[in-house]
Structures are given as C-alpha cells and as structure tokens.
C-alpha cells in the first residue's frame, strides 16, 4: 500500500448524516486508490463524554473500517512539543499576549486581510514580553514569512488562501488544531486529505507549516457539506440527523445509509462494493440539502 487517507472527527458530539457522508467519501477516495485508511480522534478540545465511542460505532454501522491503531491526539502531546521546539530553535515562533477582543478590534483595520492576525505582538521587545508575561498567559504563534499560499485541491483546483502568524500553542498550553493536524498527517503518512469544504481556508496555513516541518503537502479533496433546508450547515439542532435520531423516527441505519449513497449518485451498496464503481469525477460538486423526516 502506498500512502494513506484518514477521517479525523472531533469527539464533540454525535456524527450527523453529513459527517458520515464525508467519512464515506474519505474512505472511498483512500480505498479506491489502494491507500491505507486511518481514524484519528481529534480530542484536544471540545470532548463530550461517550461521543468517541458513539462515533466509532456509527462509522462501523455504515460499513467503514480502518487500519489499526486508532490514534488519539491527546496521547501525542510529545510529538507536538517536538515540532514546536524545532520551529522555536529556528526562530520561527513568537509569544502573543493578545486577547480575542484586541485581535478582533485590530483585525478590522483596513490593511489586514480578512481573518488574518494583525501582527500586534510580532515586534515586541524582550522588555515588553517580560512585563506582559506577568499579566497574561501567552499563546505561541508562527512567524510566517508570507501572507498567502497556494494549495491544489482535486475538487476546487488551485486555491490561494491567507497564511498569517497563526497560533501553534494556545494560551492554556494546548497544541492548536493547525499544528496537531500537520504533525499527525506527516507522521501517519497521510498523503490524501478528504474533508468538508469548511476547512478549505485552513489548507494553505497547514500546507505552509508542513513545508516548514519538512512534510510534503497532501493531496486535498474538500467536499461540499450537507445543508439544512434553510441552506445553513447541517447541525444537530436540525432534527433527526444522526443514525440514532433517525432510528427513533423509524428510519433504519440501512435506509439512512441509502440516503447518503443516493446523495452521491451511488447505488446503495456497502462501502466495500462501492470501491469498484467509485468515480470521483462523477460526484456532485454542490452541497447536499438534507431534509430530516418529521415525526
Ligand atoms: N477534527 C476536524 C473536525 O472534526 C477535522 C480536521 C481535518 O479533517 O483536518 O472538524
């Protein structure tokens, strides 16, 4: 097998049909290209009791499998620390003492690209830092030497997005999402990242950081999300959207799975039987509007 794909849920709640659809796509992209497929639990924040077990059960229930072991980010803190140390040694980090409020106010200044850190703490003197350390916890930011970076996406094509001095380690010491994802994808040999297109704007930051850490950027496939009938991103509050909810409305897991495959223009066959007929070029390029059954 060459390379690997992955599904990397945050155990913050149950997976809804849109999440399961993205997981199925990630699995199909990986397995149809003879890649390994790994499940990584991104449990550095927003962990809800029991969610990981229910997510794993639901992924199994729709017929997905993965290569051992399941990796949990909370068990890999030493890896993130090593990556941060290597960036620190090269002078590629700095401490940031800004509050969210300060960043929001400064970012509305006309010169900062939307969503970019305005660079407030970039040039602090050591004396400033010593004074501020006594007052506030500091986050650690990347000292990026560019403001945008291009990635190649199978669906989107060339995508150029903002790279700013993004956070590597949060004020409470937790490794930030962008750092953990890049370190893990690199160490797990992930060369194909299939995920929801809400994360497309993170890809340039992640690909740029990967380069700094000597990791090749993966092939990206950002897939359209599932929406509710008001055109908003599907969420738990939209009614019966998980396998469990649907079951209690009389919709079996098999029938729920068939809604997913139908939305992808695929026959309602188990994932292992879809590999042979899976054609990325034939997938829909627009979001899937999901109408939960009403009781
Ligand atoms: N853990 C992230 C999420 O559930 C996904 C991260 C990724 O696929 O890069 O939104």
pLDDT in tens, 39-64: 999 999 989 999 999 999 999 999 99
Q: What is the pLDDT of residues 160-195, one digit of tens each?
A: 999 999 999 999 999 999 999 999 999 999 999 999
**Ligand 1 atom showing the smallest separation from residue 185 Cα:** 9
Q: What is the pLDDT of residues 265-294, one digit of tens each?
A: 999 999 999 999 999 999 999 999 998 776
Give the model's pLDDT for residue 104. 84
- Among all residues, which ones are annotated catalytic? 236
Q: Which residues contact 100 (CB under 8 A, 6 or more apart)?
A: none
Give the model's pLDDT for residue 51. 98
Give the model's pLDDT for residue 106. 82
**Ligand 1 atom showing the smallest separation from residue 206 Cα:** 9
Protein residue whose Cα sits closest to atom 6 of ligand 1: 8
Give the model's pLDDT for residue 108. 65
Give the model's pLDDT for residue 107. 66
Could you tell which of 6, 9, 47 is best to mutate to test the pocket of ligand 1, judged by most ligand atoms within 8 Å of the CB? Answer: 9
Average pLDDT, the chain: 95
Ligand 1, pocket residues at CB < 6 Å: 8-10, 42, 181, 195, 199
**Ligand 1 atom showing the smallest separation from residue 12 Cα:** 4
Rounded CA-CA distance 269/282 in Å is: 17
User: How far away, in angstroms, is 194 Cα from ligand 1 center?
Assistant: 10
Distant-in-sequence contacts of 73-79, Cβ < 8 A, 24+ apart: 73/40, 73/41, 73/42, 73/43, 73/44, 73/175, 73/180, 73/184, 74/43, 74/44, 76/180, 76/183, 76/184, 77/175, 79/183, 79/184, 79/187
Give the model's pLDDT for residue 111. 67
Rounded to an integer, the average pLDDT of 243-256 is: 96
Per-residue confidence band for 1, with pLDDT thresholds at 50, 70 and 90 = low
User: How far away, in angstroms, is 16 Cα from ligand 1 center?
Assistant: 14
User: How far away, in angstroms, is 72 Cα from ligand 1 center?
Assistant: 13
Rounded to an integer, the average pLDDT of 80-84 is: 98
Per-residue confidence band for 114, with pLDDT thresholds at 50, 70 and 90 = confident
**Ligand 1 atom showing the smallest separation from residue 198 Cα:** 10
User: How far away, in angstroms, is 239 Cα from ligand 1 center?
Assistant: 23
Question: Is the model's pLDDT at 140 over the cut of 60?
Answer: yes
Give the model's pLDDT for residue 34. 97
Protein residue whose Cα sits closest to atom 7 of ligand 1: 8
Rounded CA-CA distance 81/115 in Å is: 26
Could you tell which of 40, 185, 199, 221 is best to mutate to test the pocket of ligand 1, judged by most ligand atoms within 8 Å of the CB? Answer: 199
Give the model's pLDDT for residue 290. 95
- Taken in order of first residue, the domains within the chain and their CATH numbers are 4-75+239-289 (3.40.50.620), 77-146+164-179 (3.90.800.10)
DSSP characters over the chain: ---EEEE----SS---HHHHHHHHHHHHHHHTTT-EEEEEE--SS---TTHHHHHHHHHHHTT---PSPPEEGGG-HHHHHHHHHHHHHTT-EEEE---HHHHHHHHTSTTSPTT----TTTT--HHHHHHHHTTS--EEEE--S-SEEEEEETTTEEEEEE--S-EEE-TTSPBPHHHHHHHHHHHTTEEEEEEEGGGGGGHHHHHHHHHHTT-PPPEEEEEPPEE-TTSSBP-GGGSS-SHHHHHHTT--HHHHHHHHHHHTT--S--HHHHGGG--GGGS--SPEEP-PPP-
Question: Is the model's pLDDT at 82 over the cut of 80?
Answer: yes
> b/e for 111-130, b at 16 or more Cβ within 10 A?
ebeeebbbbbbeebeeeeee
For residue 28, give both structure tokens: 């199909």
Per-residue confidence band for 2, with pLDDT thresholds at 50, 70 and 90 = confident
User: How far away, in angstroms, is 9 Cα from ligand 1 center?
Assistant: 5
Question: Is the model's pLDDT at 115 over the cut of 90?
Answer: no
């Amino acid at each position: 097998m060459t390379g690997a794909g992955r599904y990397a849920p945050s155990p913050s709640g149950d997976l809804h049909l849109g999440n399961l659809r993205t997981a199925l796509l990630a699995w199909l992209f990986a397995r149809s290209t003879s890649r390994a497929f790994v499940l990584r639990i991104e449990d550095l924040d927003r962990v809800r009791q029991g969610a990981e077990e229910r997510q794993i059960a639901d992924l199994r229930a729709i017929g997905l499998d993965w290569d051992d072991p399941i990796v949990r980010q909370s068990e890999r803190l030493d890896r993130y620390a090593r990556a941060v140390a290597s960036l620190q040694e090269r002078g590629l980090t700095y401490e940031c003492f800004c509050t969210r409020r300060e960043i929001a106010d400064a970012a509305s200044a006309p010169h900062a690209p939307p969503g970019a850190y305005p660079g407030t703490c970039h040039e602090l003197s050591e004396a400033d830092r010593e004074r501020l350390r006594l007052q506030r916890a500091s986050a650690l930011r990347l000292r990026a030497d560019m403001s945008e970076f291009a990635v190649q996406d199978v669906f989107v094509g060339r995508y150029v997005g903002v790279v700013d001095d993004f956070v590597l380690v949060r004020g409470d010491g937790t490794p930030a999402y962008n750092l953990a994802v890049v370190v893990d994808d690199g160490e797990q040999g992930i060369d194909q990242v299939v995920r929801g297109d809400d994360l497309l704007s993170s890809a340039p930051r992640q690909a740029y950081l990967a380069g700094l850490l000597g990791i090749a950027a993966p092939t990206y496939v950002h897939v359209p999300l599932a929406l509710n009938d008001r055109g908003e991103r599907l969420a738990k509050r939209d009614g019966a959207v998980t396998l469990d909810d649907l079951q209690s409305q009389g919709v079996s897991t098999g029938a729920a799975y068939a809604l997913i495959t139908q939305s992808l223009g695929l026959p309602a066959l188990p994932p292992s039987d879809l590999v042979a007929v899976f054609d990325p070029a034939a997938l829909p390029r627009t979001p899937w509007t999901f109408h939960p059954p009403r009781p």
